[in-house]
Structure 1
Amino acid sequence: MMTVVVGSVVGCSGPADRPARSTVEPSISAQQRMALDDGDVTWDEYEAAFKAYEACLARHGYELDQPHISGDLMDFGVPSAAVDSGVDDTCYAFNWAQVDQAWQIAHEDTSESAQIVAECLRSHGIVPSEKYTENLERLRGNGIQLGDCPADG
């Protein structure tokens, strides 16, 4: 007795509106998207996105160097091998980049850079603004370079 298997390929004519299954990963994680949804990134969301970034690196065999909080930012070193392999970029973009950017922009007036610029203005007898961008303009308007300021603030 002989068994014959007959199959056919059935398809539709014309292009599909969208593929049934996409192999492209989402550009950012659901956690990062939810943190951005209301336009206001909280500390808990910032920290959670950072931890997701850190965990992603760990899944690929990399560990951040001395991660800690500095002011209102996460501070750490990234292994050069993680950078060279592209894993750092992938993990950062998917888990933390947009949350990190939103957080830093929202907190630019209290950043370490803002404090350095304000101290620079004070050292030249200029009262700084509470706004970082205004203080940068005051530096430029007065012809002051950061190199003209005391190194220790």
Structure 2
Amino acid sequence: MTIDEYQRAFRNYVGCMESAGFSVIENEADTNGVINYSISNDAVVNGADQECYDLHYGPVDSAYQVAHEDSGSSAEFLRACLLAEGITPADTMKGLLEQFEAEGLDIGEC
């Protein structure tokens, strides 16, 4: 999964949403390129969001995020929390979560 494929799928999702009469506001991407965006509640209630997401973006979005989970914003958040506790963070998301569990840390308290 390349960043180009990921971004193309997002553009297709946006085009679908616009065709359904709804706008998509793109926000700053995560450090690993994961796109952050917002839509109106009306688009959710209408069902356009789910339809467009499933048809154009969902599988690609999931695959890209899983492939890049070790460098995403969630992983960076967990690393910062562990460092604040004086713990050298793991390199992988799986390792980070294992560290939280082993240390008895609550992610919600970071």
Q: CA deviation at 1:66?
A: 3.7
Gaps of at least 5 residues in structure 1 are 1-40
8 A contact 1:65–1:79 mirrored in 2: no
Q: In structure 2, what is the equivalent of residue 15 of structure 1?
A: none
Flag as ranges the 4+ runs of structure 1 deviating above 6 A. Answer: none
Residue 113 (structure 1) aligned to one of 74, 77, 80: 74
Task: Give the direction of change, closer, same or farther, for the CA distance of 1:130–1:146 in structure 2 (3 Å limit).
Answer: same
- Give the length in aligned residue pairs: 109
TM-score, normalised to structure 1, is 0.68
TM-score, normalised to structure 2, is 0.93
Letter of the aligned partner of 1:111 in structure 2?
G
Gaps of at least 5 residues in structure 2 are none
Query: 1:78-129 CA deviation, whole Å, 9 max, x = no partner?
Result: 1111100111000000001000000000000001000011111111111111
Hey, which of these two has a bigger chunk of helix by percent? 2
Q: How does 1:40-55 map to 2 (within 5 A)?
A: 41-55=1-15
Separation in 1 of the partners of 2:26 and 2:62?
Answer: 21
Is 2:97 the partner of 1:136?
yes
Please give the secondary structure, in 2, of the residue aligned with 1:100: helix
Please give the secondary structure, in 2, of the residue aligned with 1:117: helix
Task: Give the direction of change, closer, same or farther, for the CA distance of 1:52–1:116 in structure 2 (3 Å limit).
Answer: same
8 A contact 1:57–1:88 mirrored in 2: yes
- In our comparison, the structure showing a higher alpha carbon Rg is 1
Q: In structure 1, what is the equivalent of residue 51 of structure 2?
A: 90
What do you get for the CA RMSD once the two structures are aligned? Answer: 1.1
Bigger RCO (CA 8 Å, 6+ sep): 2
Residue 103 (structure 1) aligned to one of 61, 64, 70: 64
